Structure 1
Amino acid sequence: MICTSCSKKLPFLSQFKNGKDILCHSKLNKEQIEETEPKAVVIEHFRKKLCRCADCTRVYDLADCEFLMEEDDDMAKFEKDSKDKIAAEPQPTEADEMRELVREVGMEGAQRIYEGVDTFKRKFNEFFGGSSDGGRPVSVEDVKRFTESLKADLDAKRARMQ
């Protein structure tokens, strides 16, 4: 992606939109460069389309954008590296998550959270899973009735605790 500010600072980048494989910036005239309004552009593998002739390399150097030629600075590479890093990291187990929850909210808080999640799951399955309609779409009214039912149950539970 070429952002708007880079397109404005480096107007020759806007010429990538014309679809040429490799664009030699040194052959562009002033009118060609200034004829387009700077805006963000997404060009797949645009670094491979950069001309690397001596004149263009000098343009990149003068524009202080020689980093554009660095293949390792590509978004696709960042995405792949990020996915690889996530895949390599050990994923927390349910026990790890439970210990973290207990550490953050205490044992009583963790128990309340798990009870709440369990109650929600059970009531959800009772309300939507036990439908005799056999797979009919859930309507907005169904969701409203379900949330009102949950709220009523919570209010009743709070009243009993007082």
Structure 2
Amino acid sequence: MPMSRLIVVFLLWIFGTAVHAAPPLSTTALATIDRATLAATQQGDILGLEPYLAPNFQAAIKVPTEQGRFQTLLFNREEFLLYAWHALSVMQDYQVRAQKADYQIAQDGRSAVGTAILDESLHWEGQALRYTTRRTTHYRPNQNQIQITLLEVQVLKWDQPH
């Protein structure tokens, strides 16, 4: 076989593998990602969280204000990781309990959305905080893994500290 054909075959193998190596989206795979990211968050392991976030990751976190309104915090991947690192470094006793998530996989298999209700609690500056959130997570296969492209969090219920 001429060298040029070997190079073409090699390039097709390399690039063809990357295109077809993306794992299929399944509720089992998505639930595994959710468990891993929640465990990393609960353990304060930002480096464990980072591989699950796509390079174009975005987060929108809707939190209540003291005036009874909501404020939406928007983050790109780097900002979100920095925000998570800072939050985890100043809070204590973070606990999270997730209810069973509902996953919708697109018919073409190229994206999925998962929605879960989470009950969370922590201590922040000596005050106990408890809240319930709805997390809507958007997933896409990327090369050899499934990654999160968008995380939307909305606080549904918040027990204000006294």
Structure 1 and Structure 2 fold alike (TM over 0.5): no
Larger Cα Rg: Structure 1 or Structure 2?
A: 1
Relative to its length, the structure with more strand (as a share) is 2
TM-score (norm 2): 0.26
Relative to its length, the structure with more helix (as a share) is 1
Higher RCO (C-alpha under 8 Å, 6+ residues apart): 2
TM-score (norm 1): 0.26
